[in-house]
Amino acid sequence: MLQQAGRYNDLSPKLIEKINNRIDSFGRKVRYKFEISNPDPHPDNKGQRIFPFLYTLDPVTFNIIDNEEDRKDKQKLKRIGIVESLKENGEPDRFRVIRIAQREAGVRVLDMEKPEDREDAFYLELHPKLTGGLFADKDKRAIVSRIDESALATEQRDLRKAKNKASDVAVNMSDKEVVEFADAMSGGNNVEWDSTQDPLVLRNKIEELAETQPVYFNELVESKNIEYQAVIKQAMNKGHIIFDPTGYSFKWTTNNISFAILQPQVGKNEVQLLAEIFQAGDVKQKALYQKIKSIVSGKEKEATA
């Protein structure tokens, strides 16, 4: 538990017991994850995270409401801090802080058989930035979360399954599927995907996506998104339809008449938006998609309004 000093850490016996019981349930070791990383901006390290050289958890001291407090002449408002040293009058002189070094990669492992580690765990369980904590501050961004080992194991197993599934799909794609996937991914300003690239380059991109973002990859291939987006992009590449950025609409190339007006959405390009319209649309929209698909396949020679 935390050392009491003056008005600091004067917790009710019931709350102390509750926190101690919680800590005892963790076993000998417990891990806390600190959400302090940022995406690595270097293009060669896509998908990787970078951590600060040294992170200090704040606030160092804070208030909580101890609703378990029922002692006479004791307030429910408590001041919390890890007391490191005392003044001559017994008041705190300095407080110890929790710092996370870059090498820890945002995870602090605490040994409950070490007094200082147990004190840190007690403090973190009271901290306002603990996700789901007893005293979490809803107005502050949660930074710390206790790692549920069982939940983590399940999550990691699910991720491995997703990776294996994504890898199998990516490796076994036909040449036609590779081109269609690249077309589907190349809407808007996404210059990273170009279906005219060497097939080996495209396969490498697809397999990399499957490896680094397996859940997203699986959702893509299992949905109709790839099929719809590929058809739309191929129709654009072949000059059957064009996107008009001024009116944010799609038009037939043959007569310059609009057949779909889009509503801009952050994070989605025009190909994705049109694919969504076709998939969620009425009979007329679905028929329009089938018409474009037929034109792309060569079954129809040209589009008419």
> What is the tens place of the pLDDT at every residue in 55-94?
999 999 999 999 999 999 999 999 999 999 999 888 899 9
Query: Domain for residue 216, yes or no?
Result: yes
pLDDT of residue 155: 81
SS3 state of residue 252: strand
Is the domain of 73 the same as that of 136? yes
Is the domain of 244 the same as that of 177? yes
Query: Nearest to residue 236, comparing CAs of 264, 202, 274?
Result: 274
Is the domain of 260 the same as that of 194? yes
Query: Domain for residue 29, yes or no?
Result: yes
What is the distance between the terminal CA atoms of the chain, rounded to a whole angstrom? 76
Tokens of 17: 């017991």
pLDDT of residue 53: 95
End-of-domain residue from the set 112, 147, 182: 147
Cis before 59 (ω within 30): yes
Is the domain of 188 the same as that of 213? yes
pLDDT of residue 39: 86
* Residues in the chain where the model's pLDDT stays below 50: 305
- In terms of residues, how long is the chain? 305
Query: Domain for residue 128, yes or no?
Result: yes
Query: Domain for residue 78, yes or no?
Result: yes
181-217: pLDDT as tens digits: 888 887 655 556 888 889 899 999 999 999 999 998 9
Radius of gyration (Cα) for the chain, nearest Å? 29
SS3 state of residue 71: coil
Is the domain of 99 the same as that of 143? yes
Tokens of 249: 């609409």
Is the domain of 261 the same as that of 215? yes
pLDDT of residue 305: 46
End-of-domain residue from the set 99, 114, 147: 147
CA dist., res. 170 & res. 204, Å (int): 9
CA dist., res. 109 & res. 118, Å (int): 11
Distances (CA, A) of 264 to 21, 186, 228, 237, 249: 52, 17, 18, 22, 10
Query: Domain for residue 285, yes or no?
Result: yes
Is the domain of 28 the same as that of 53? yes
pLDDT of residue 94: 94
Query: Nearest to residue 122, comparing CAs of 12, 5, 14, 17?
Result: 17
Helix 225-237 to helix 270-280 angle (10° resolution) is 120
Give the domain extent around 206.
158-297
Query: Nearest to residue 232, comparing CAs of 278, 195, 298, 284?
Result: 278
Is the domain of 198 the same as that of 131? no
Is the domain of 111 the same as that of 209? no
End-of-domain residue from the set 147, 167, 197: 147
CA dist., res. 289 & res. 232, Å (int): 9
Query: Domain for residue 268, yes or no?
Result: yes
Is the domain of 111 the same as that of 198? no
Per DSSP, the chain holds a count of helices (H) and strands (E) of: 9, 14
CB-CB contact of 167 with 159 (8 Å)? no
Is the domain of 129 the same as that of 165? no
Looking at the structure of the chain, the number of domains it has is 2
CB-CB contact of 108 with 29 (8 Å)? no
* pTM summary value: 0.54
Is the domain of 64 the same as that of 176? no
Query: Domain for residue 3, yes or no?
Result: no
Query: Domain for residue 107, yes or no?
Result: yes
CA dist., res. 187 & res. 190, Å (int): 6
